[in-house]
Amino acid sequence: MSDNTSFDDFRVTSTIEVDALLNRLCGAHALVTLSTPDGHHCTTMLRLVDRSRGALQLDAPRDTRGLRALLACGEIVAVSYLDNIKVQFDVETPMLVGDGDDAVISARLPTVMYRFQRRAAFRVRPFGSQAPSASFLHPALPEMQLTLRVLDISLTGVGLLLPANVPPVEPGLRINQTRLQLDDATELEVSLLIHHVTTLQPQGHGTRLGCELRADREHERTLQAYITQTQKRQLALAASKA
């Protein structure tokens, strides 16, 4: 986000809108990443939105030891995505309720949410014979070098194709030193935070890794130029077919 952009531009405070966003997350079974400033994180899903009680419930991960460390932190942020749009809210007064498969994280309904939608975040789908790729070491198998095709990309996020025959990559992981190859002449080093993993159809085709993308200012300008140029090419192609 640029220094000139206020968080107020993305703030959602209407109870109706907050409930609508939460219910969409719940209905879509969207993965939600909970994280703290000191590095604790877990991936879960929203199970219940109860306006009458002013509470929500999230599925509790099986690793309750790591979960308890996360819940003990005084500042927890939840991040998810709806139609490639980042949604964020603070998790207030969280507590672990129940145990085993019935365990849930109960928390107060947020009064404020953030929906980060701006022109700079518009995604484009690369086309042509030289599709961009992202290369990094598999986080679970550091001896395995991955080079994944870019399915879509924006200034703040990227979708990657993980083939079906490659060991899975778990949500919530941060991958530094990722080499993003936009074309033969343009290579950037970025970091990725994997937010969600979605199975692609038809079955067996692979999975889409939805990642938050972070780059320095210089690489960010290069990425923005690539996105703008790709948009222009797509518009020109659509006009030629009209």
**pLDDT tens for residues 37-53?**
888 888 899 999 999 99
Instruction: Determine which of 5-19, 67-81, 103-117 has the lowest per-residue pLDDT on average.
Output: 5-19
Answer whether residue 94 shows pLDDT above 90: yes
Q: What's the pLDDT at 228?
A: 77
Say whether domain 7-117 belongs to CATH 1.25.40.10. no
Q: What is the predicted pLDDT for the residue at 66?
A: 79
Give me the mean pLDDT over the 2-10 stretch: 54
CATH topology of domain 121-241: Thrombin, subunit H (2.40.10)
Residue 153 has pLDDT above 80, yes or no: yes
The average pLDDT across 68-89 equals 87
User: How far is Cα 43 from Cα 32, in angstroms, rounded to an integer?
Assistant: 6
Would you place residue 225 in the very low, low, confident or very high pLDDT band (cuts 50, 70, 90)?
Answer: confident
Q: Where are the beta strands (DSSP E) in the chain?
A: 11-12, 31-35, 41-50, 55-59, 77-82, 85-90, 92-97, 104-108, 113-116, 133-137, 145-153, 157-162, 174-183, 186-199, 207-214
pLDDT digits (tens, 9 = 90+) for 168-177: 998 888 999 9
Q: What is the mean pLDDT of the chain?
A: 84
CB 57 within 8 A of CB 93: no
Please determine, for residue 152, whether its predicted confidence score (pLDDT) is greater than 60: yes
Q: Which pTM does this prediction carry?
A: 0.53
- pLDDT of 242 > 60? The answer is no
What is the number of alpha carbons within 13 Å of residue 159 lying toward its C-beta?
19
pLDDT at res. 199: 81
According to the model, what pLDDT value does residue 213 have?
A: 86
How remote is the C-alpha of 16 from its chain's centroid? 24
Residue limits of CATH 2.40.10.220 in the chain: 121-241
- Exposed/middle/buried for 188, CB within 10 Å: 0-12, 13-18, 19+? buried
Parts of the chain belonging to CATH 2.30.110.10: 7-117
For 101-134, the pLDDT digits (tens) are: 788 999 999 999 998 865 445 566 776 656 889 9
